[in-house]
Structures are given as C-alpha cells and as structure tokens.
Structure 1
C-alpha cells in the first residue's frame, strides 16, 4: 500500500452541486492522497455525491459542526501525510496542479508553496486570473496575494501554527499565511496555474462583504502592526458598490 503524500480536507455545506467536480479533480491528480469530507449536515444532494466517492475517501461525516475552520482542522488532523491542504467543495484543481506544488517543495524549504489560480464565474463561462504574486510581507499587508485553493502546506508547519483559527469565519486563510510566514519564513510562489476558485451567488465573500473586511483589517493590524491606507480607501468600493452590482 502506498503511503499518502497529501492530506486533503474538503469542508462542505449544501454544495452538493459542486462537490462531485471538486472530488473528481482531486482523484484525477494521480497522486497518493487521503481525502476527508467534512460536511456540516447538508440537506441537498451532498450525501449522494459522498456515497458515490466513498470507496476512495479516507473518511467522511455529515452533521452540524462548529464551522468551516474547525472542520478543516478536523480533517487535516485525521490524516498523516507530510503535506496538507484543504479544498472548498465549490473549488477544484487543474489537472497536474497538485504535482506542480509537491515538486516545488524539492526546491525550497518554505512552510508552504502556492501557485496561480483562476476565478471562474459560475454560469458565465468566463474566468480570469486571481491576483497572485511573489511573496512579500509589505504586499501581503496591502492585499491577500495568495489564493487558498492553489496552496500546499508542510504538515510540520501546519502543526506548529495549529492550523487555521477556528474563531475566524471569513479570513482564516489570510491569517494562516501570516502565521506560517512568522513560523518558517516566506512562502514560495510557483508561476503556474494549479486551481480554480468558483465564484457564485452563495459564496461568503459575496454575501458577507462587511464582515470579510472587518476580519481582514483586524488580521492586518494584528500581524503587521498597522493597517495600510489602502484598506480604508478600498473598503467603501468593495463593500457598498460591489454589493449593488449583480
């Protein structure tokens, strides 16, 4: 039996219409992975999708839980692989994407590596690159320059920082990048598109913009010591104008 190389937690809640594509994209990577689906008690078609893939899953459960971040920590803790990540059930990997990230670790000692990501607008047939760039702490203070679906983390670093903060609802990934940097130095960027972030009307960043900005600003202040002016200038546009635009 081949030992798993990557532990992947898949948090989900009423995203059954997307979950099949997410799981398919994982198992089509042709890598030894252990996948744990952490469902928050969905009432849609999620369970039928889970049962379809049950023979390949390392584990799953479906019940009310303490939220996305807690579910991610739970899933990663169930595994043993040297690299870890999570894939939200409405996102998916590009073919060969995980291999690209794993191979990058052979060339660096970073606590995590990340690649490019596409943002796909559900129902439009259109996609565009997510803003991702080389790691720089001052740039990270201005915006999140790392796209979560395109990231792979050393388990040793994950364990050292205790995973994602279960008290955060919107920016647990942004906070994690800061803590990984403080633990093990700069994260390594790979100039290759490895994943797709799906944008649709039910995503938290579209429905909870004000809460997202409050958490992000508090995270920057906590880790950087101050909040760059950009946050105050951009907030009215991101919170109010984008809320009005369909």
Structure 2
C-alpha cells in the first residue's frame, strides 16, 4: 500500500508515526511530505530514509496538496495517509488490508480509532459507526487514520480537495460515497489520533465548522439543525474547558 505522511514541525511525534507504520507486517511504500520544518523533523526523516520510498522538505500548498503529491508518487493498489502526530496500532494496517481485500466492491474500509489527549494521556474512542448517509450528514462518522482506500477510486475522484484546509477527509468520504457507494465499516481499533495543543481542529474550530457545514450542504442538500446547535459549543465552550 502507499502511505502518505504529511508533516510540518512535528518532529516530536514523527518518529512514533513512522515506527507504527514499519512495525506492521504488510508491504508499504511510504512518502514523507515535510512542509519545510525548522525543528528536528529532518533528523527523524533521515533516521528512516533507508525505509522510505521518498521524501522532501520545502514549503508547499498545504496538507491536502502534500498528501495528493505523495500518493501520486506511489504505485500500490491501496492508499491512505497518516498525519505525523497520529499512529497505527499493532496489526492495524493488516486488518485494514484484509478487510479491503475481502470486499473489493467497496471504495474504502474504515475501522475504529482512539483519541489520546497529549497532556493527560487520557484515551477515549472516537465516534465511529457503520455507514449511513443520514448519519454522515450529522457528523463525520469515519476516523481518517483508520481508513484504507482503493487507489482506483482515489484517482477517479481526484484525491483530496486542495482548497479545503480542515475537512478534506470529510469531503473525500462524501465523494467516494456518491461515486462508488457506501464505505465499509470494520468494528476493530486500528489507529490512534493524537490530540495536542497545536491540533488544527482545536485551534481553528470556527473554520472547521464552516468548512464542514459547506461540505454537508454540497453533498446532502441541506445542513441538519445539529450543526447550528453544536457550533457555539465547539467553538467557545470546548475551547475553555480543554
């Protein structure tokens, strides 16, 4: 499989991400797309250079563009991306590969993942559930680090929308569904999402909700009331209790 690892000044986490990939018992081609980091990221990348299929470090057009670039450089039939502050659980990639191989008629598969709070170590499951359009319109029910996609459908929909900064994954799930049908849910934990002080969904909550609501309106036709009610809570109240 082809794995894109976008990163920018995440050297303190990048080693964990790459370790979790190369400890999996599955063939991988890994491309690290670094946005011109000024921390220790290059040292970490060079540590793993002998295992990487490619890497670069320079300013780019953002996370979505970096992921598209990496996956375009690969040739494997399955693709995914792992943000440099997340990691795969042992056996997680193998489980995803087995599930997708057994279900070649679906565009992608997704499992469960944990959300780990960096400063406290608290671990809680991310809200993931079996695929339904009605439920996807209410929230993103798919956890990005826990997904695996057919390269053919990735290329057919043009990869990620590079105009989006916050919800490029949510937009992709909608496009895959609309073009190729429901994504397949696998009821197993396969990955971990790291929640820390620089996480985009924490520092840019208002923009996150604005982009997400635009995506829902575009593909579902209307924005459920839930989004309007939840936005003030997520933007203001959650920001002061975390």
- Match status 1:115 vs 2:111: yes
Task: For residue 179 of structure 1, report the CA deviation from its aligned partner.
Answer: 0.2
Partner of 1:200: 196
Partner of 2:180: 184
- Match status 1:44 vs 2:45: no
Aligned pairs for 1:1-246 within 5 A: 6-108=1-103, 109-246=105-242
For each residue in 1:55-108, what CA deviation from the matched residue of structure 2 results, as whole angstroms up to 9, or x when unmatched? 000000000000000000000000000000000000000000011011012332
TM-score (structure 2 length as normaliser): 0.99
TM-score (structure 1 length as normaliser): 0.97
Partner-residue secondary structure (3-state), 1:104: helix
Cα distance in 2 for partners of 1:11, 1:105 equals 23
Task: For residue 195 of structure 1, report the CA deviation from its aligned partner.
Answer: 0.1
Task: For residue 125 of structure 1, report the CA deviation from its aligned partner.
Answer: 2.0
- Alignment root-mean-square deviation, CA: 0.6
The count of aligned residue pairs is: 241
Cα distance in 2 for partners of 1:180, 1:21 equals 30
The runs of 5 or more residues in structure 1 that have no matched partner are 1-5
Partner-residue secondary structure (3-state), 1:128: strand
For each residue in 1:106-138, what CA deviation from the matched residue of structure 2 results, as whole angstroms up to 9, or x when unmatched? 332110000000001113121010000000000
The runs of 5 or more residues in structure 2 that have no matched partner are none
Cα distance in 2 for partners of 1:236, 1:196 equals 27
Q: Which runs of 4+ in 1 moved over 2 A?
A: none
The 10-residue stretch of structure 1 (104-113 or 92-101) with the greater mean CA deviation from structure 2: 104-113
Task: For residue 38 of structure 1, report the CA deviation from its aligned partner.
Answer: 0.2
Partner of 1:3: none
Partner-residue secondary structure (3-state), 1:139: helix
